[in-house]
Structure 1
Amino acid sequence: MNQQKSIKLVECPRDAMQGIHHFIDTDLKAEYINLLLQVGFDTIDFGSFVSPKAIPQLRDTAEVLSKLDLSQSKSKLLAIVANLRGVEEAVKHEEISYLGFPFSISETFQMRNTNSSIAASLDTVKQMLGFCDQHNKTAVVYLSMGFGNPYGDEWNEEIVEKWTDILVNNGVRILSLSDTIGVSSPERIKTILPGLTAKFPQVEIGVHLHSTPETRIEKIAAAYESGCFRFDSALKGFGGCPMAADDLTGNLATEDLIWFLESKGEKLNLDMEKWKAAVQLSSKIFL
């Protein structure tokens, strides 16, 4: 068993859908997410309040939210925001528990992803934390490029630790180390994660890994063996980051994650019948 802490699974239909070019019908999105809400995940990363020009697929997030049934679900909802306008929109919805912000330690990618510098993004995070306090939300900051930087900006473990320290000192309590285009390796995961979890025991540090199918299990194993208990994933490994403008490297596949964790004796308490129904419905979404 892992650290005697409960494993937290974050299912990410938002990340799975956002790069799909054909527009997925709002009712179909809601039907799919409603099934996922019944499986028993800790959190559902369901949508984002970002520019419709940037991510047209998620322009109907508020409408999807209005169609979700949380009455029989223990899962909490997370929405991604990229600027203060998105923060102000997201906090209006009391059904949302978490606001996620992509904070890249690569200046190049932060501009590409949020049209904002790292310095300006840090200011946005500070203001977001204030909004979260006022509206009973919790901030989740994704430390993008947490395992390497393919854009030529300087990257090393000290930079990762420096920005973690800055974010934590500003009040961030949930941090997800993100591998935006799949550059992480088991060795790098095992090098970075244990040091951060040891230095910041008060912070919930998770992983949002992108991977090819061949390397998923070894990355999951490396994170688990490093003491990680918060994992982002998506059914069948769908998705990736459309702002990376590379061949999409998919998410960790939830079914691989479930298999691995159960093989380690973790009790996940998932409704596998609802999961199978979601897998079946996914064929209508991910054509």
Structure 2
Amino acid sequence: MKLIDCPRDAMQGWPTFIPTTQKIAYLNGLLRVGFDTLDFGSFVSPKAILQLADTTEVLDGLDLAQSGTRLLAIVANLRGAETAAQHPQIRYIGFPLSVSETFQQRNTNKSIAEAFDDVTRMQELCARTGQQQVVYLSMGFGNPYGDPWSPEILGEFTQKLDALGVGIVALSDTIGASTPATIAPPFRELTAAFPHIEFGAHLHTTPATWREKVQAAYEAGCRRFDGALGGYGGCPMAADALTGNMPTERLIEFATEKGEELHLNTEALAEAMQLNQEIFAGH
């Protein structure tokens, strides 16, 4: 079971700017924990997300020498991918591809067809740089716009991504709409149809529903999970104020119960949790 901690997702919507030095200290703390991957930042327009305008400066301050954790950066277009590709210490370049035409337009100001063109060019870019693209199928568990959604549609998108050579696909709960009934069928079908692709779950949850969601994905074959310590961030469009990112500490709890070996540094985890509270509970 792989854990991807996503401080970028926790920070991006935070109402007050988190100082660059504080971000660096927190991310270096997370790097010492031993997560598989750290979704650390994003190369997007500062006009879109001011909180992440310092991603390059943050990257320069990270101590990667003593950490086996790999870095993932999110981009919204080819320009962002080209910037990420200039930093060889970034292993993964993540791109949100929506299965909802409405949300793709709202999120990236492009159609799904145009977004697929970007995915194609990003895949070619990664082939040249030795990096790897991670495609997030946003609105992966339904959408509020009335756009079509089904496990079959997710399969069609994955078929196209597979043809391009994309090896990691994460179904993403963009608005907190996921339930076990919408989580299990896609993972069950996709993991069977595309055994060579690594499927991930980027779930949002309320405090009361986290376990049933993780359980549904796990039992359906998913072994890659995104989370954020404390469950901060993740769901600005949700109607429920309690909905946020899947708390990484809950994922650790679940993995431990299942006998999954995570090889985490528990002392470093406790220190990272303290830094997390200083940032998010202190603002």
TM norm structure 2: 0.96
Distance 2:2 2:185 in 1: 22
2:117 matches 1:127: no
1:253 equivalent among 238, 247, 250:
247
1:104-159 C-alpha deviation (Å, 9 max, x unpaired): 01011111111111011000000000110111100000001111111121222221
**Runs of 4+ with >2 A deviation:** 244-249
Cα 1:60–1:277, aligned 2, differ >3 Å: closer, same or farther?
same
Instruction: Determine helix, strand or coil for the equivalent of 1:33.
Output: helix
Distance 1:237 1:21 in 2: 16
Instruction: Determine helix, strand or coil for the equivalent of 1:23.
Output: coil
Instruction: Determine helix, strand or coil for the equivalent of 2:202.
Output: strand
Percent identical pairs in the alignment equals 59
Cα 1:230–1:21, aligned 2, differ >3 Å: closer, same or farther?
same
Paired residues for 1:38-77 under 5 Å: 38-77=32-71
Distance 1:150 1:202 in 2: 31
- Give the equivalent residue in structure 1 for 2:77: 83
2:275 equivalent among 252, 260, 281:
281
2:97 matches 1:94: no
Instruction: Determine helix, strand or coil for the equivalent of 1:268.
Output: coil
Instruction: Determine helix, strand or coil for the equivalent of 1:214.
Output: coil
Paired residues for 1:59-208 under 5 Å: 59-208=53-202
1:187-207 C-alpha deviation (Å, 9 max, x unpaired): 221111111000001100111
Aligned length: 280
Distance 2:235 2:111 in 1: 19
Distance 2:117 2:30 in 1: 34
* Contact preservation (8 Å) 2:151, 2:189: no
What RMSD, in angstroms, separates the aligned Cα atoms of the two structures? 1.1
Instruction: Determine helix, strand or coil for the equivalent of 2:160.
Output: helix
Distance 2:233 2:138 in 1: 16
Distance 1:73 1:252 in 2: 24
Please list every run of 5 or more consecutive structure 1 residues that lacks an aligned counterpart in the other structure: 1-6
- After TM superposition, give the deviation of residue 284 of structure 1 in Å: 2.0
